[in-house]
Chain A
Amino acid sequence: MKKGKLGYLFIAPATLHLLVFAIFPMAFSVFLSFYKWNLLTSERTFLGLANYAYAFGDPQFWNAMWNSTKYALLSVPLGMAAGLLVAILVNQKLKGVTIFRTLYYIPAISSGVAISILWIYVYLPETGLINSVLGLLHINNKTDFLKNESMAMYALVFMSIWVGLGPRMVLFLSGLIGIPPSLYEAAELDGAGKLRSFWNVTLPMLAPTTFFVMVTSTIGALQVFTPVYIMTQGGPNETTDMVGYHIYVEAWSKFLIGIASAKSFVLLAAIVAISIFQFRILKNQLEGYSTT
């Protein structure tokens, strides 16, 4: 019994910290979402569910939710495919391959603000890096990627794939290394070609890794903030106004604390629902093949 109490002592500091800086704030956020709350004057009025009603009826909020969905639907599958392909590429016994792995990781450890500033330059018309290269190839080099309504979203997606390549590569690499070679040998004996054994061995065996990468990438994509804040401020014409940035503006530029809280709960609900959905679609594979 004495031992039973001691365990609590070990987890006490971390648990206390979790209560104060995560659990209590979550609960307090529910409370905030029921009030009209002014950050500057601290005046508050109880509104019940009115903030949620407002959020659901706010076209700008839905625009932001839709933009985030679009961003996630593009950047997550493309980023995962790129990560997997690169993982397969560097999962070969080649001299110096670890140097390449290290290089591929560098964009991910760089500061988000610095990367965002750098990519503003990369996307500049005429003098930007991309347009300079296009100019050399005698292709139209006047596109202002970040100020062009039909391009800005894709510009942010492209950058996110560039930044996220390294971590996704490492995750898939660890998954690939964990696949027993005997499975490939068995597939070969059954006459399976490279493509078939990729489809029937690699992909199913990677299911736990795929699930992990998919959930964390989606959660990250739905909350993206820094690139929007630094590069586009939601523009042009709100085509890149994503929900993480939208809530920030509601709270810190318009000081609408209650509404921002309500909206962040709608976002949270969406994130939880999507994570459960992703678990469901991969559930059978996770049960069938998980070796951990």
Chain B
Amino acid sequence: MKKLLSYLTMTALALFLMAPFVWMIFVSLQPSKAPIPSLGQLVPEKPAWSNYRLVLVEQPDLPVLRFFFNSAFVTCSVVIGQLLISSLAAYGFARMKFAGRDLIFYVFLGSLMFSGPVTQLPVYLLVKSLGWLDTYAALIVPGVSSAFSVFLLRQAFQSIPGELDEAARLDGAGDFRIYWKVVMPLSGAALATCSAFSFFAVWTDFFWPLLSTNSTTMRTLEVGLSVFKSSYGTTNWPLEMAATVLVMIPLLVAFLFSQRYFTKGIMIGSIK
């Protein structure tokens, strides 16, 4: 009885959370420029799959495939950069002793919590003075290291027993070799978690790409979608919903693949 009640509650909640998505897909399949149907007529007689083709390839002023490429290229670059730079730092903080180590680590943590509201303007001015505005450098370089990844990987590295280092050291390995040959290979799950986190954070970032790019060819999917909304919003609902679905699909696919690491990482991050 209690079991049944739990399942009923969980199903109701799932319906509540998924309903907007399902509804969105049905609206996106209405004929282009049709009004939003009532719930009774939600399932279209002839699904207008052509909406998706319209959005993807027949918008000369909105190159969706280009947006997609930009998002993918920027996200992959940032994720790889973060994995390398942040894991190096995490090894330093987790495994080595040097003066001021803990203090510097606390500066990393503090910036993670509190730098958000005040850094956007100066970073914009900095990127502008470097002549990077509207280039990939502007989208990638400010993100290639993250205090959050440093924090997450430090936790993971600390949980690897030090005896392994000692064994490698006896074989004549230096710290860099231990980092690359011992600690990194043993941290696959943590590195995957880190990648999953930064992947979603960068792919769905809206604010920074909105500020740092202005030509259509440099826009990411997120910004592209908001541009799409300002040019088609309230005039062509099915098309706008189709665009929204298209933006969601890669994220959903990525989530289903990385889901395991993703939820794990939140837990690592929360445990002090």
Q: Which residues of A contact B203 (CB under 8 A)?
A: 111
Nearest 4 pairs of A and B residues by beta carbon = A10-B92, A14-B89, A7-B98, A25-B122
B88 touches A208 (CB 8 A): no
Q: Is A171's CB within 8 Å of the partner chain B? A: yes
Interface residues of A (CB under 8 A from B): 3-11, 13-15, 17-18, 20-26, 28-29, 32, 86, 89-90, 92, 94, 97, 100-107, 109-114, 117-122, 124, 127-129, 132-133, 135-136, 162, 165, 167, 170-171, 174-175, 178, 208-209, 212-213, 215, 219, 223, 225-226, 229-230, 244, 247-248, 251-252, 257, 260-261, 264-265, 267-268, 271-272, 275, 290, 292
B89 touches A223 (CB 8 A): no
Q: Which residues of B contact A9 (CB under 8 A)?
A: 92
A265 touches B118 (CB 8 A): yes
A118-B244, A252-B211, A275-B113 given as contacts; is B118 within 8 A of A25 (CB)? yes
A10-B179, A18-B145 given as contacts; is B21 within 8 A of A106 (CB)? yes
Which of B35, B206, B251 lies in contact with A110, CB distance below 8 A? B251
Given contact pairs A174-B271, A208-B272, A264-B118, a sample of 14 additional A-B residue pairs in the complex whose CB atoms are under 8 Å apart = A4-B99, A8-B92, A14-B89, A14-B145, A24-B126, A104-B17, A112-B222, A118-B20, A121-B237, A127-B38, A170-B263, A171-B267, A223-B117, A268-B118
Q: How far is the CA of A267 from the CA of B118 in the complex (A)?
A: 9
B122 touches A28 (CB 8 A): yes
List the A residue with the shortest CB-CB distance to B226: A113
Q: How far is the CA of A114 from the CA of B21 in the complex (A)?
A: 10
Q: How far is the CA of A42 from the CA of B263 in the complex (A)?
A: 45
A15 touches B270 (CB 8 A): no
Q: Is B164's CB within 8 Å of the partner chain A? A: no
Interface window among B8-16, B48-56, B58-66:
B8-16
List the A residue with the shortest CB-CB distance to B99: A4
List the A residue with the shortest CB-CB distance to B147: A18
Q: Is B115's CB within 8 Å of the partner chain A? A: yes
Which of A32, A174, A230, A272 lies in contact with B270, CB distance below 8 A? A174
B38 touches A132 (CB 8 A): yes
Q: Is B46's CB within 8 Å of the partner chain A? A: no
Instruction: Tell me, rounded to whole Å, the shortest Cβ–Cβ distance linking A122 to chain B.
Output: 5
Which of A111, A118, A127, A170 lies in contact with B267, CB distance below 8 A? A170
Which of B36, B225, B254 lies in contact with A114, CB distance below 8 A? B225
A14-B88, A271-B114, A292-B272 given as contacts; is B251 within 8 A of A127 (CB)? no
Q: Is B252's CB within 8 Å of the partner chain A? A: yes
Q: Which residues of A contact B6 (CB under 8 A)?
A: 89, 92, 94
Q: How far is the CA of A212 from the CA of B203 in the complex (A)?
A: 25
Which of B10, B98, B121 lies in contact with A89, CB distance below 8 A? B10
For window 195-252 of B, CB contacts with A under 8 Å fall at 200, 203-204, 206-207, 211, 221-223, 225-226, 229, 233, 237, 240-241, 244, 247-248, 251-252
Q: How far is the CA of A17 from the CA of B229 in the complex (A)?
A: 35
Q: Which residues of B contact A89 (CB under 8 A)?
A: 6, 9-10, 13
Which of A24, A92, A230 lies in contact with B226, CB distance below 8 A? A230
Instruction: Tell me, rounded to whole Å, the shortest Cβ–Cβ distance linking B181 to chain A.
Output: 15
List the B residue with the shortest CB-CB distance to A292: B272
B36 touches A3 (CB 8 A): no
A13 touches B267 (CB 8 A): no
Instruction: Tell me, rounded to whole Å, the shortest Cβ–Cβ distance linking A166 to chain B.
Output: 8
A103-B17, A174-B267 given as contacts; is B145 within 8 A of A13 (CB)? yes
List the A residue with the shortest CB-CB distance to B19: A129
Q: How far is the CA of A225 from the CA of B17 in the complex (A)?
A: 22
Q: List 12 A-B contacts (CB under 8 A).
A: A8-B98, A11-B88, A25-B126, A29-B122, A89-B13, A103-B17, A113-B225, A118-B241, A121-B23, A165-B17, A223-B116, A290-B272
For window 72-104 of B, CB contacts with A under 8 Å fall at 85-86, 88-89, 91-93, 96-99, 101, 104
A13 touches B85 (CB 8 A): yes
Q: Is B136's CB within 8 Å of the partner chain A? A: no
List the B residue with the shortest CB-CB distance to A226: B206
A11-B104, A226-B207 given as contacts; is B118 within 8 A of A94 (CB)? no
